[in-house]
Amino acid sequence: MRTRAKAIAATAVLAAAIGTAAASLAQGQDGHGQPVSTAASQTPPSPAAPPASPLATADDAAPRAEATAFVAAWGTPRWDDPAPGAWADRAAGHATDAFAAQLRSAYRGGSGGTAWTDLVGSRGLVQNVVDRLDPAPAATGHRAYIVLYRTLTVATGSGHAVAGTALVDLVPEHGQWRVAAFGPVASGGIAQSPATTPAAPPTVSDAD
């Protein structure tokens, strides 16, 4: 018991000494009551590092997934769609509000002509298969990719593919990445900002 009491007493003394030293430092004195140099406290703090760019810190998986989903929906009519341009609604689900409105305005109407009639008659469909997404230059806050994909027309159990290349530009909207533009890549493989006006999608006749 006496040993334990001594240990408790020693701990109390140590705690008191630490408390006294801390109070002295707060008053600008060392443990002996002498003034403490304030040179260190007068040294200006190092400048804070600038905030990292959203492009450097943001997860790349989300914009890639949206770009892939958009391309998979782009210009892909199905024989069981209610209208030839119903694919525009599917693509619009991955687009910004403004681009979605443009897609619906440009492609939601129309009869589809004989290509649509043939697609329905053969119970065919058009699919886009994304093979590759390469990062492309983009404005701050944007994500852009050069996408390599194949447009596959399937009818009566057979099909063939046509290769395509495009630039897809994404921006954050409503807390998610959304496609703001989709268009051709400049000659020479150098990406340019695509126009926000929707480019013409591949039609069934284009893939024949």
Please give the residue range of the domain that contains residue 83.
61-189
- Is the alpha carbon torsion for 65, 179, 135, 138 positive or negative? negative
State pLDDT tens for residues 111-156. 889 989 989 998 999 999 999 999 998 888 899 999 999 998 887 5
Q: Based on the domain organization, do 78 and 179 belong to the same domain?
A: yes
Does 73 score more than 50 pLDDT? yes
Measured CA to CA, the distance from residue 172 to residue 182 in angstroms comes to 15
Backbone φ, ψ for residue 136 (5° rounding): -130, 155
Tell me, yes or no, whether 47 lies in a domain.
no
Mean pLDDT over each residue of the chain, to the nearest integer? 72
Residue of 56 and 107 predicted with greater confidence:
107
Domain count across the chain: 2
State pLDDT tens for residues 103-113. 999 998 888 89
Q: Based on the domain organization, do 152 and 70 belong to the same domain?
A: yes
> HSE of 72 in the Cβ direction (CA atoms, 13 Å)?
13
What CATH number does residue 163 fall under? 3.10.450.230
User: What predicted TM-score, i.e. pTM, was given to this entire model?
Assistant: 0.64
Q: Based on the domain organization, do 33 and 87 belong to the same domain?
A: no
Residue of 207 and 129 predicted with greater confidence:
129
Q: Based on the domain organization, do 98 and 24 belong to the same domain?
A: no
